[in-house]
Each structure stands twice: as C-alpha cells, then as structure tokens.
Structure 1
Amino acid sequence: MQISVVRPSDLGPAEVTEWRQMQESQPRLQNPFLAPEFALAVGRSRPTARVAVLQDGPKIVGFFPYEVRHRVIGVPIGSGISDCQGLVHRPGLDWDPVRLLKACGLAVWEFDHLLADQAPFAPYQARVAGSPIIDLSKGYQSYVDDRMTDGNLIRQALRKQRRMVRELGEERFEWEDRSEGVMLALRRWKSDQYRRTQQYDRFRTPWIQAVLTELSQSSAADCRAVVSTLYAGDQPVAAHLGLRSRSVLAYWFPAYDVDLARHSAGILLCLRMAEAGAADGIEHIDLGKSEALYKSRLTNDEVPVAEGRVGRSWAVAGARRAQFALARSVRTGAVGARLRSGGTGRVLRGIRARLHER
C-alpha cells in the first residue's frame, strides 16, 4: 500500500468523487463530518490540515483527514467541532495505523469521536462510549410511538407546546431557515450559554466562524449546514445549526431563549426536526456524545465512538497522557502554565528531528 499526503485543496475532482463513493457504499461512513466537503472547508481555514491518500497500485482505497499540531501531533480534521472521526475507505480495507502515522510524519494521532468499529484502530482505544442517536429509519411516527412507552418526555413537550401557543402565539417550524436574524439570535444565545458554562466560545473562534459560514452557504447534498428554527408567533424561541448529509443530521449547535425556558422549546425543536428530517430522507439524528439527561430520554439507539491515541513514539504519547491527566485537575494557574510552556514542549522539541529522520 502506498500513502501520500496532500492538503485538502490539492484533491482533484476524481479524488473527491472516489471519497464520496466510499461513503455512499457504507452507511456507517455517511456522517457529514466524514465528507470531503468538511475536510475542504476546514482546510481553507486551517493551514495544517492534511489528507493521507491510501492507494493499492493505481487504485485509491482510502482517505485519512487530519490536522497537525506542534509538527508531530495529529488530531482529527476539524478537531473541536467534529463529532465523527475516522478513515474513509473501501469495504474490507485493512491498514497499519503505525505505518499510516509514519507516512504522515506524526508521532501521535489523538481522537475523541472515532468510529469504534474501525478495527485497525481498536488496540489504541482507551474508552468507548455510545453516541446517542434518534433512529428514524422506520419513520417519525414509529419513533414517537416507541418513546411514548418509555417515559413522558414527549407528552410533557406537547403539553408545554400548547401553553407556549396560548402565551406567545401560534407555533411555526422552519426546517431550513435562511433568515439572517435567526442566525444572529442563535449565535447570541449560544455565546451566552458558553459564557454561563465557562466554555470557550466557538462562535468567536475565527477558523470555526469561517467553516460555519462556508458550510452554511453550501448546497452539497452530502455536507451542508442547515438552521432549523421554532417560532412562537413571530418570535424565534429555539434554533439549531446542524450539519447534514443525505441520511444523517449531526446535532451540532442547539440554542434557545433562556427567558422562555419554561416552555421546553429545545425539546420541542428536536421533535420537529425529527419529523421534518424523516420526511426529507434523514435516517438518524446523531445527538453527540454526552451525558445530558434530555439526550438519554430522546434517544432510541446509539453509535459507539472511541477516545484514545495511536502512538509511534512512546515518549511523545507518554508526555501527552501526562499533559491531559494534569489538565483535568489543573485548568489554570502556575502549574498549568509551566506544563504548557515547559515539560511536554521540551519532550516534543527533542524528538521531532528523530521522527522526521525515520
């Protein structure tokens, strides 16, 4: 097997077509985060984005999109906003992860939402968890009937919907809402949420802004961002910016007006998205890995995803493990600052030359 590394923008129409065909041939690879359009959009905003192209003779057999950090550390392409990661390949392909890293010039490749069924990466998985999904393959009504027998979340949402209509006006749902005002409201609500929960604001990160803008303007069937909005009267009460393919909707950036939280508009929005999505070819909504209670009550299935790292250099892998372990307990302060500027940095600098010589 030959492996070459290119920038996403270096892929020609033939390569992009091959990539799409590999996705279409395997339902588990049809997540929009694995689409070539996602890699291309990230590549235009992230200079360190790369794609390893795997070939068996003249035939392309796989694509491995990734980003480079600190010259020798690899992460999934779009890391921080990608909820599905892996190698896109022809059915039945086997590969050597260590050889793949060597061809990419990487000491380590770290992942946190890897498709857990990618067998060559299995020995490197540290933790596997279920990413909850709303399975709509049997239609929306079948999904609702199933959830009605397991708790009363849907009944509660519909009851609150009637109250919302009485207090605020008639409900209206837009599956693909292109209103500029809605996008501004969604960004404001989401930024407020990030501030309340002390998370970094993705909407204020330039490269993420650029990727979201490009994908929102895309018309690609296999990867485009869509905004869905729930209104009460003329007032938006909840909105969601998602990434969709033909059959999968990734639950990406949900937000709602906290002043109207009593109406549970976020739950109602999920239900309306499921109904409209099922009618538009969506077979499942990937809610994303988390322990949020509402996700556990909406889901009727899950996709296993893994965290871990493939290491070609045990020194770098060990340094990264130590860094992440300490980061869990020390988020700020002098110790964290010394770690970021010293310890692991010296290890990485000391090993780069040897890695690139191999």
Structure 2
Amino acid sequence: MEVKGFDALTRAELDAWEEVRAGNPALDSPYFHPGFSAAVHASGRAVHVAVGGGVFVPHHRDGRLLRPVGWPGADFQGPILAAGTPFRPLDLLGGGAGGYAFDHLVEGAPGFERYVVTRRPSPYLDVTGGLEGYLGRASKSGKDNMGQARRRAAKAGRELGAVRFEADSADADALARVIELKRAQYAATGARDYFAEPDRIRLLESLLKTRDPAFGGVLSTVHAGPRLLAAHFGIRSGGVLHWWFPVYDPELARLSPGWILLRELVSAAPALGVTRIDLGRGEDEYKRRAKTGESVVCQGIVTRNPVRRAAVTALARAREMARNGRFRRSR
C-alpha cells in the first residue's frame, strides 16, 4: 500500500473514502469519517494514510509501531473499505514499520482474526424515538435509573434553581470546564491524563467548531440554577453520537448528575437526528444499566515478529484477568 500524509490525499481520494464508508454499515462510527482524521492531523499530530485498492487505513507512526488514528482516544478502529472487500493487514508493514497495534478494532474487520488477542464489549443505546422509544427497549435497570434521574432533576431544581439542558452547545468556556473536570477525575483516580498532551485539547477545541451534522463535535450541558451539574463532549456522524468525555460536579454526586444528563440527551436525540449513542468499550456500571445492546471491539497486534506477538498477548491476557477479577468483586 502507498502511505501518504493526510494533507497529501487528493479530493478524489477523500471522496472515495467517504463513499466506501457510507456503503459499509460497520463503519458508521464518527471515528471512521475522514473529518476525524483531518481534525487530529490539524491539531498537530501527524496522520498518515495507507491507501490502495479502495482501502484507507489512517494511522500514526510511533517509532517502528503503527497505531490507529486518534490513539489512545479512538474507541473504534479498523480499515475503511467497502463491505466484502478482502484485506491483508501485513500489507501495512513496510518502510521500517514492525507492527500495527490496535485496541478498539471493530469485530469482523477482514483479515485481522489471526491477530486478535482479546475482545471486549462496547455498549450502545438505541435511541430511535427518543426517551419513549428507548424506554421500550431498555432493561428494568435502565428504566429504573431513568426514572430516578427524572426525580433527582426535580430535586436539583428545588434545591439549586431551574434545570436547563443544552443539547448542542458551542460554548468554548463550557468545553474548558469539561476538560478541567476530566483532568481532575484522572488525578483523583490515578488514571493517565489524556489531556496532558496539548494537541488533544486543540483537537476538542477544533471539533467544537465543526458544526456539520455529517461530522462534528457535540457539547451537551445540564445546569441547575448557576451550577453545572454535568456535561459531555462527543463526536457525531449522521445518526450516530459517540459518548466520549462525560463529566459531572463531584460535589453534587448525590443527585446522580450523569444520569440526569444522559436522560436529557436521550430525550433530545430525535431533534439532533441521532438514533444511536455509542458508549464506548467497558463494563462500567452505568453502561451495563443503560445499554440496549453492545458490539465487540478487539485488541491485538499485526506483526511478523513472534516474540513481539507473544509479549503483547501475555500482557493483554494478564490485564484481562486482572480486569475480570475486579469486575467480579464489584458485583
């Protein structure tokens, strides 16, 4: 395959990318839209694209390792190609690249089966028909939590002031607050700070300004009086909204502000033109309760080096065992 910098792609190649993606339902996530690769590249992190035979694979070069575009913040990954098109992942390796590592590869991506090490669920909400439609498909737990969110929103209104929801805000200050709260959450939990790299802040700022329903950022906020209860920044393409950076005011945790926000967003889905909200990989409690279904994403590495593959496999399986142990204890 020929490898080009993203900004070297021709208009014809970008049009072909959009055409093959539009014809493949497995690629309806906004992460596969060329607008995502364009925004990542413009943020200052170079994006390269392997092109050949009607296939596009946007990626980053990390030494001798290739990683999917947007890594580690891309919750869906894989080659952009027409449904039924064969693909040979080893064709990605060359020019000094020794491996292509993935951690959110869509299940069924052609040619990748032998390189998959582990699989994880990626829950979603079918929000066709808004809140009423969702409640008709939700589990008892999902329905119960949505009912509690309605009552707690009323309580927030009584205690703090009128509850106001904005489904698609362009407020740069509100986005800055989302990033501030998310970084505080990372610090409190000991998680790696995604926003320690300035280009990732620039990425969200750029996406916020992208207002096209075909692809763009979506910032949703819910206030009670002057207080921000919760907010979320995600990306959408057509009818799919990806739940990416949700935050809430920890001082108001007793009100379950995250559920209040999610309920409002589900209610607003028809007006936004959204029929599915992807929650991303993981078995967080709220995802288990809220989901109406789930897809599967895969972790692994494409490499010709058996030692590297064995090391990646051992590490991934050790993490899987530790995660499963924590999950069982939490239940």
Distance in 1 (CA, whole Å) between partners of 2:135 and 2:305 is 50
Distance in 2 (CA, whole Å) between partners of 1:180 and 1:212 is 10
| 1:225/1:243 contact within 8 Å kept | yes
Structure 2 residue aligned with 1:175: 167
Q: Does 1:136 align with 2:127?
A: yes
Distance in 1 (CA, whole Å) between partners of 2:105 and 2:219 is 26
Structure 1 residue aligned with 2:279: 287
Q: Specify which of 63, 69, 72 is matched with residue 62 of structure 2.
A: 69
- Compute the displacement of 1:326 (Å): 8.8
Q: Does 1:197 align with 2:195?
A: no
| 1:140/1:278 contact within 8 Å kept | no
Structure 2 residue aligned with 1:270: 262
Structure 1 residue aligned with 2:146: 154
Structure 2 residue aligned with 1:117: 108
Distance in 2 (CA, whole Å) between partners of 1:282 and 1:158 is 21
Alignment map for 1:195-274 (pairs within 5 Å): 195-274=187-266
Distance in 1 (CA, whole Å) between partners of 2:293 and 2:216 is 24
Runs of 5+ consecutive residues of structure 2 not aligned to the other structure: 322-331
Distance in 2 (CA, whole Å) between partners of 1:249 and 1:47 is 24
State, as a whole percentage, how many aligned pairs show the same letter. Answer: 32
Structure 2 residue aligned with 1:127: 118
Structure 2 residue aligned with 1:37: 35
Structure 1 residue aligned with 2:21: 23
Structure 1 residue aligned with 2:324: none
| 1:147/1:154 contact within 8 Å kept | no
Distance in 2 (CA, whole Å) between partners of 1:259 and 1:34 is 37
Structure 2 residue aligned with 1:12: 10
| 1:134/1:287 contact within 8 Å kept | yes
The amino acid of 1:10's aligned partner reads A
| 2:24/2:81 contact within 8 Å kept | no
Distance in 1 (CA, whole Å) between partners of 2:10 and 2:234 is 27
SS of structure 2 residue aligned to 1:307: strand
Q: Does 1:83 align with 2:81?
A: no
The amino acid of 1:69's aligned partner reads D
Q: Tell me which structure has the larger Cα radius of gyration.
A: 1
Distance in 1 (CA, whole Å) between partners of 2:153 and 2:305 is 55
Distance in 2 (CA, whole Å) between partners of 1:117 and 1:74 is 20
Runs of 5+ consecutive residues of structure 1 not aligned to the other structure: 56-60, 330-358
Moved >6 Å (runs of 4+) = 322-329
Distance in 1 (CA, whole Å) between partners of 2:96 and 2:31 is 24
Structure 1 residue aligned with 2:296: 304
CA-to-aligned-CA distance 1:200-245 (integer Å, 9 cap, x gap): 2223311211211221112333321121001112322110011111
- Compute the displacement of 1:132 (Å): 0.3
| 2:141/2:290 contact within 8 Å kept | no
CA-to-aligned-CA distance 1:250-297 (integer Å, 9 cap, x gap): 111110111111111111101111221233221211101112101100
In structure 2, do the counterparts of structure 1 residues 187 and 108 end up closer, same or farther at CA, with 3 Å as the change threshold? Answer: same
Q: CA RMSD, aligned part only?
A: 2.2
SS of structure 2 residue aligned to 1:175: strand
SS of structure 2 residue aligned to 1:17: helix
- Compute the displacement of 1:131 (Å): 0.1
Moved more, 240-249 or 204-213: 204-213
In structure 2, do the counterparts of structure 1 residues 45 and 187 end up closer, same or farther at CA, with 3 Å as the change threshold? Answer: closer
In structure 2, do the counterparts of structure 1 residues 123 and 144 end up closer, same or farther at CA, with 3 Å as the change threshold? Answer: same
The amino acid of 2:56's aligned partner reads F
Distance in 2 (CA, whole Å) between partners of 1:116 and 1:150 is 27
Structure 2 residue aligned with 1:333: none
CA-to-aligned-CA distance 1:49-85 (integer Å, 9 cap, x gap): 2100112xxxxx1101111111x21111111111010
Question: Aligned residue pairs: how many?
Answer: 320
CA-to-aligned-CA distance 1:104-139 (integer Å, 9 cap, x gap): 642111111100121311111111121000012354
The amino acid of 2:62's aligned partner reads R
SS of structure 2 residue aligned to 1:289: coil
In structure 2, do the counterparts of structure 1 residues 47 and 143 end up closer, same or farther at CA, with 3 Å as the change threshold? Answer: closer
| 1:107/1:316 contact within 8 Å kept | no
- Compute the displacement of 1:193 (Å): 0.5
Q: Specify which of 44, 49, 52 is matched with residue 50 of structure 2.
A: 52
Distance in 1 (CA, whole Å) between partners of 2:56 and 2:137 is 38
The amino acid of 2:61's aligned partner reads V
What TM-score, normalized to structure 1? 0.83
What TM-score, normalized to structure 2? 0.90
SS of structure 1 residue aligned to 2:238: coil
| 2:231/2:248 contact within 8 Å kept | yes
In structure 2, do the counterparts of structure 1 residues 325 and 294 end up closer, same or farther at CA, with 3 Å as the change threshold? Answer: closer
Distance in 2 (CA, whole Å) between partners of 1:83 and 1:52 is 20
Distance in 2 (CA, whole Å) between partners of 1:292 and 1:324 is 19
Distance in 2 (CA, whole Å) between partners of 1:85 and 1:222 is 19
